[in-house]
């Protein structure tokens, strides 16, 4: 057991990027329960001025940043009479990340989270990484930059946090494979023809987790699990063959690591994002978490299934992108973001999400300049190219009969 006394007494400064989102909300909830241990340096949001200002005032943040430049005046108004500094636009979000906080939660959604997360990484902070797109889009160099700067990347995604905890039981040479679990989402038992026609309302009904809209749709398509396979590969330097996915509808075991002696270490917990976030917040110690305790007797049974690639082609595409490398995972993510936005807007059927991603990836492999990505600008440029290609392919995918 560790000796926690020294760390427990120090007040740590924290910044939450994406404070008004689902992960942000869980993080703020944990901070609310440990006011004596944490001081808030900066908070950010994209458009939700009211919620951002409310949080900034509640926590006495030193800086609040809003992504939408048109909302600066509204943010200034909302913070009038306080000593909280504020800013707007991408540069202000980056400034929030660059300000001196010991610990940063990177929970902006989408590829927009990359530059701010890098700003925190480059100054050697402890970065709790919820934004998986950082690794999916920029895995070629993200972890290297962190290593160079001495930043500590703490995986906040539940499966990766589980692996992070279990990996401590052995060393790299002893590792055989990791297993990340998937609930299977709302369409786990649906026939492919029904999944094809699924509505937005049906896709948003996740059986276990309460999350933001984009990731909930990604869970229904299992694109989220695909993104997580890629995330695990970059985070822990694993080959695609060392990462398995297991469907586990109860979402109690989040990740497992198999070692050479055939021991399998697993992390368990109720499906509540405050558990992995609390682990990141307390690390290397553990804080007292507010989540429900795990009652296995009440749950009764834990079941497992092999994922069905025919039902969930997004998972197959993620492995393909990972094997292709050199920007392919960036393309996979960008095309998926375009596809999900089109699905939400009612422009394509649910089943067309994976078809658009596959068509964009194939198009990029045929015509793209495939060299390793070296910088955020490289990653963002591949991301833009892929988005444009996906948007151009969208009408024909939308029309295609299945």
Q: Which residue has the tokens 């029904």?
A: 194
Number of residues that bind ligand NDP (CB under 6 A): 29
Residue 67 as a binder of ligand NDP (CB under 6 A): the answer is: yes
Residue 157 as a binder of ligand NDP (CB under 6 A): the answer is: yes
Strands (DSSP E) found in 6-148: 12-17, 38-45, 63-66, 85-88, 103-106, 126-129
Q: Are 242 and 302 in contact (CB under 8 A)?
A: no
Q: Are 333 and 380 in contact (CB under 8 A)?
A: no
Residue 215 as a binder of ligand NDP (CB under 6 A): the answer is: yes
Rank residues 45 and 386 by Cβ distance to ligand NDP and give the closer one. Answer: 45
> Which tokens in the block code for residue 278?
């609390």
Residue 97 as a binder of ligand NDP (CB under 6 A): the answer is: no
Q: Select the residue interacting with ligand NDP from 96, 273, 275, 386 (CB under 6 A).
A: 273
Task: Please state, in angstroms and rounded to a whole number, the distance separating the CA atoms of residues 256 and 27.
Answer: 24
What minimum distance in Å lies between the beta carbon of 218 and Mg ion?
Answer: 10
> Measured in whole angstroms, how far is the alpha carbon of residue 88 from the centre of its chain?
23
Residues that bind Mg ion (CB under 5 A): 157-159
Task: Please state, in angstroms and rounded to a whole number, the distance separating the CA atoms of residues 380 and 368.
Answer: 14
What minimum distance in Å lies between the beta carbon of 276 and ligand NDP?
Answer: 8
What minimum distance in Å lies between the beta carbon of 263 and ligand NDP?
Answer: 27
Rank residues 158 and 368 by Cβ distance to ligand NDP and give the closer one. Answer: 158
Residue 185 as a binder of ligand NDP (CB under 6 A): the answer is: no
Rank residues 48 and 251 by Cβ distance to ligand NDP and give the closer one. Answer: 48
Residue 331 as a binder of ligand NDP (CB under 6 A): the answer is: no
Beta bridge partners of 15: 42, 104
Residue 211 as a binder of ligand NDP (CB under 6 A): the answer is: yes
- Site stretch for ligand NDP (CB under 6 A), options 124-132, 140-148, 188-196, 254-262: 124-132
Task: Please state, in angstroms and rounded to a whole number, the distance separating the CA atoms of residues 42 and 101.
Answer: 8
What minimum distance in Å lies between the beta carbon of 63 and ligand NDP?
Answer: 14
Binding at 379: pick from ligand NDP, Mg ion, none (beta carbon under 5-8 Å per type): none
65 Cβ partners below 8 Å, 6+ apart?
42, 43, 44, 45, 86, 87, 88, 92, 93, 95, 96
What minimum distance in Å lies between the beta carbon of 225 and Mg ion?
Answer: 8
């Amino acid at each position: 057991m560790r000796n926690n006394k020294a760390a427990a007494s120090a007040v740590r400064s924290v910044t939450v990027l994406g404070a008004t989102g689902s992960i942000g909300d869980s993080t703020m909830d944990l901070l609310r329960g440990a006011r004596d241990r944490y001081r808030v340096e900066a908070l950010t949001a994209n458009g939700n001025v009211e919620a951002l200002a409310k949080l900034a005032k509640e926590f006495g943040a030193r800086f609040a940043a809003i992504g939408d430049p048109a909302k600066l005046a509204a943010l200034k108004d909302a913070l009038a009479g306080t000593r909280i500094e504020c800013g707007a636009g991408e540069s202000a979000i980056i400034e929030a990340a660059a300000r001196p906080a010991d610990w940063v939660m990177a929970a902006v959604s989408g590829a927009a989270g990359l530059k701010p997360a890098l700003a925190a990484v480059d100054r050697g902070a402890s970065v709790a990484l919820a934004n998986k797109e950082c690794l999916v889009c920029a895995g070629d160099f993200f972890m290297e930059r962190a290593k160079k700067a001495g930043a500590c990347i703490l995986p906040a995604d539940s499966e990766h946090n589980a692996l992070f905890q279990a990996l401590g039981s052995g060393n790299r040479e002893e590792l055989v494979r990791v297993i990340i679990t998937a609930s299977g989402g709302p369409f786990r038992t649906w026939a492919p023809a029904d999944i094809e026609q699924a509505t937005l309302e049906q896709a948003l009904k996740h059986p276990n987790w309460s999350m933001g809209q984009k990731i909930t749709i990604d869970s229904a398509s299992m694109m989220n699990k695909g993104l997580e396979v890629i995330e695990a590969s970059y985070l822990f330097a694993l080959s695609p063959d060392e990462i398995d996915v297991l469907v586990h509808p109860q979402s109690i075991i989040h990740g497992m690591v198999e070692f050479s002696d055939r021991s399998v270490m697993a992390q368990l917990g109720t499906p509540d994002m405050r558990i992995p976030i609390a682990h990141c917040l307390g690390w290397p110690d553990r804080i007292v978490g507010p989540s429900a305790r795990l009652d296995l007797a009440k749950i009764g049974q834990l079941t497992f299934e092999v994922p069905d690639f025919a039902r969930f082609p997004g998972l197959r595409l993620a492995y393909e992108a990972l094997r292709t490398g050199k920007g392919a995972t960036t393309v996979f993510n960008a095309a998926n973001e375009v596809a999900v936005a089109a699905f939400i807007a009612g422009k394509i059927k649910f089943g067309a999400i994976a078809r658009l991603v596959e068509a964009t990836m194939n198009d990029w492999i045929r015509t793209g300049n495939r060299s390793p990505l070296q910088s955020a600008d490289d990653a963002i440029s591949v991301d833009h190219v892929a988005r444009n290609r996906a948007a151009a392919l969208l009408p024909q995918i939308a029309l295609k009969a299945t």
